């Protein structure tokens, strides 16, 4: 399942330091902390000590003997291999990419799916670059259920026959936009088409939970309500009324509090 920390491992690691373990996947979360400490230059020995203290403080079933071996496995894996935090802040979308997808003679959910495929492959390209130092945008997509579920969520597919990702992939393959391969893999032929062109950047996708909303914003699709992009955090939001809305609820509250604080400071300074 995709969430606000998907492909944002640096943010995830810092949230763990503030809140402790956040899911049942403790080994994964421990590896994130080790990667963070390794990238900040913390020696392996000190990272082990930090992780022991962290587990003792935040694990409900902490047992020193059991956790010592678990911690050693995680520490050795991270420090003995070139493993880095996969932090993808945003994915740029270019005009020719959006125009190509939006011009296709397919229902809107199909266009959302292609847009989600484009974003996920660009994310994979950034992660590949982080770990290998090389830039590589491939159209090959693993067909495992977890991957397809994530892409379906990014595209906001409702399921059923009409919005089943497998059913839609079959339709798209009939026009050659996608090739179905062995082992449930697919190849996105349209990615190769898009790589041949260049244009200006028109939007940055930074909220990977709601990829579909960026496409709806660009295409001015408003069946579920008009989509706007917060000018502060760049996250999409549904706007039900026609009045212009610059900020999402969270940012609006934070900006309002900041303005109130600044007003109080000015008022206090004017007294003296």
CB 79 within 8 A of CB 38: yes
Q: Residue 272: pLDDT band by 50, 70, 90 thresholds?
A: low
Q: Tens digit of pLDDT for each residue in 172-190?
A: 999 999 999 988 899 999 9
Lowest-pLDDT range, 84-88, 171-175, 246-250?
Answer: 246-250
Query: pTM score, two decimals?
Result: 0.89
What's the mean pLDDT in 250-272? Answer: 80
Q: Are 108 and 84 in contact (CB under 8 A)?
A: no
> What is the C-alpha separation between 56 and 23, in angstroms, rounded?
16
Q: What is the mean pLDDT of residues 30-45?
A: 96
State the residue for tokens 């995830």. Answer: 12
- pLDDT tier, 133 (very low <50, low <70, confident <90, very high otherwise): confident
Query: What is the residue extent of each domain of the chain?
Result: 9-80, 91-239
- The overall average pLDDT reported for the chain is 91
Task: Give the C-alpha separation, 62 to 47, whole Å.
Answer: 18
């Amino acid at each position: 399942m995709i969430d606000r920390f998907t492909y944002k491992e640096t943010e995830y690691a810092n949230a763990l330091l503030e809140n402790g373990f956040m899911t049942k996947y403790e080994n994964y979360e421990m590896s994130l902390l080790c990667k963070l400490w390794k990238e900040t230059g913390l020696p392996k020995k000190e990272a082990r000590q930090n992780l022991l203290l962290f587990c003792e403080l935040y694990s409900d079933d902490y047992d020193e003997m059991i956790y010592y071996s678990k911690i050693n496995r995680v520490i050795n894996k991270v420090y003995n291999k070139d493993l880095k935090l996969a932090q993808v802040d945003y994915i740029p979308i270019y005009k020719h990419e959006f125009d190509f997808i939006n011009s296709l003679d397919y229902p809107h959910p199909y266009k959302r799916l292609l847009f989600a495929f484009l974003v996920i492959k660009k994310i994979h390209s950034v992660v590949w670059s982080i770990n290998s130092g090389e830039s590589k945008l491939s159209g090959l997509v693993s067909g495992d259920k977890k991957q397809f579920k994530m892409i379906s969520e990014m595209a906001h597919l409702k399921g059923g026959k009409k919005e089943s990702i497998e059913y839609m992939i079959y339709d798209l393959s009939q026009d050659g936009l996608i090739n179905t391969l062995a082992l449930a893999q697919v190849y996105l032929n349209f990615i190769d088409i898009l790589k041949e062109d260049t244009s200006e950047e028109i939007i940055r996708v930074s909220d990977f939970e709601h990829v579909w909303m960026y496409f709806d914003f660009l295409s001015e699709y408003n069946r579920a309500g008009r989509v706007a992009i917060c000018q502060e955090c760049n996250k999409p939001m549904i706007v039900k009324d026609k009045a212009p809305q610059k900020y999402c609820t969270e940012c609006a509250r934070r900006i309002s509090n900041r303005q109130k604080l600044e007003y109080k400071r000015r008022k206090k300074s004017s007294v003296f």
